[in-house]
Structure 1
Amino acid sequence: MKSKNVLILIVSLIVVMSCRKGEMPTHKYFGSVSSTVANLPGTPMINIKWNGVVMDSLMSGVRSITLPAGQSGKLSYTVAGSNDLIADTVITVPMNNTLSFKILASTTLGMSGFAVPVMDISPDSIKLQVYCNLSDYYKYSTIDLKIISIRQPGNVFVDELVVKGLKNKHLSSEIITFKHKDDRGAAISYGAYLIDPATNEVIPTPKSPYYFLFARPQYPGFYIVNLTDRSGTMASSVIGL
């Protein structure tokens, strides 16, 4: 009985000591932010900033930073050695979870921003995001883009859709999805026309006809289409992500 009383006394002392006023144990929770850089030509060294403070840097691959959960602030990506902004967003750090961002940065293409996340891509489809990169030949800050498919045999043109409001020197936030192969199992070629959004008329190019090859990926997947021109002659390059 005596030993039992001693045990109770010891336990009571431990409880009292650990529960003093103002000394209750606290739990700290954390979350993380994962940053991936797309494999584009001319990617600079990038600083990852949290509320203006550099947390890490990367030029390729993946980096992850850990932050207190529930904290809100600005996540930004800038060119290292300068304050040139690549992309930024306001986030709240999740508890015991990760927010993931994919960064597009290319001095070669003049491209910067966030890649829109794509969750599911079927085996017979392509998903495209357009970067409008027109020269001063075209005096438009915004264009529409009419996309057609060119079906074989016979080069039959089929209207697919019109992408509205493409801002020059910007990456479109819209992801467009197309069928990858035709009934013969061949990759489908997609063409495009530039459209004046004010008149809905085709914008002339130096060469007629005014359509140009927009995309013809050999494999299903997610791609950036860099829409550009050489003195008005349209060209596009398709970059797999």
Structure 2
Amino acid sequence: MFDNGKNKEGFSVSNGYLYVLINDSMKGLVKIGITSISPRERARNLSNNTAVPTPFKVAYEIFVENCEELERKIHTELEEFRVNQRREFFNYPLNKAIELVQFYSKKETNSQEENYESIEILDYLKEKYSIYINRNVTSVKLYQTKERVSLEVTSDYKIGNDLLDQVIRRTDLGFIGSCDEETFSPKASIQANVEVFLNCSPATHVVSQEGLFTEEGAKKLYDEDVYGHFE
């Protein structure tokens, strides 16, 4: 397991993930760091700390070059908001933190590789749909590359006392076409595409990916939206 921009031999890793984590037990705080493993795995490792009552969530992630240098610049920018000099936690608004990470990553990265960024939106969908979300869904992200805008849904299934089967499905949102005369464009900011998706109709959310909603919930939302009633 590698983290903080170091491989197992201790040498710097130039390519990696910049992430923004949040935790419901740490209101108003964001953790901004880097990792060479999946940010989701990094959040899980941090959540296993018994001193943390609630799990960490990956609010934003982006794959970049020179991740250590970018992290240093971002931490320097936010120095006055750091809550502990030995920790990567900052008392800073989440949306502003995401914008800052985006600013530095896009300013400093000249790679022609297929980089990506993603924003977690499960909490927003839960606020709107509550009990209709499939209980196995643990993450819903808008996932964006230079060419595509996709919806990534992660579902966890327990298959034993200590075993977990995790399924990650990604659907290209290009098939949807438009919502309120707006389209999903990889040339637009990911925040703009998140707003477009969240403003789509319930029926559009239902068809965006199978398994996001319970079977009954999907039928109810679709029928009420399209036909005006639920049978």
TM-score relative to the length of structure 2:
0.29
> Which structure ranks higher in relative contact order (CA pairs < 8 Å, sequence separation ≥ 6)?
1
Rg bigger for which structure? Answer: 1
More strand by share: 1
